[in-house]
Structure 1
């Protein structure tokens, strides 16, 4: 499904896919890393769930060469 999304983005002329992932979800970070996404940033304590403050992890994948 993610590859289909990347292919559709390329077909639309997009250059980058961006993922915004909860810091409480290391599995999603690993999933995106395995697909070629790079860690590009972290926004500390930007969200909240069940009374717990959460970081937002930003990852990106370049779709086209520079």
Structure 2
């Protein structure tokens, strides 16, 4: 999915929270696929984990600004 920082900064906190929930669901699905040996590209886990970190960072910055 690879979220860009500029795209995340343009969103409001509610949209960021929704994005975070979607990423967490995606991460769960990928972890389950990995556990059952169905995940071919394990790099997806890393990318989703980093997208979650980006989203949380921007969300905390926006909350501090308010």
Higher normalized helix content (fraction of residues): 2
- Relative CO higher for 1 or 2, CA cutoff 8 Å, sep ≥ 6? 2
TM-score (norm 1): 0.36
Structure richer in strand, relative to its length:
1
What is the TM-score with the length of structure 2 in the denominator? Answer: 0.36
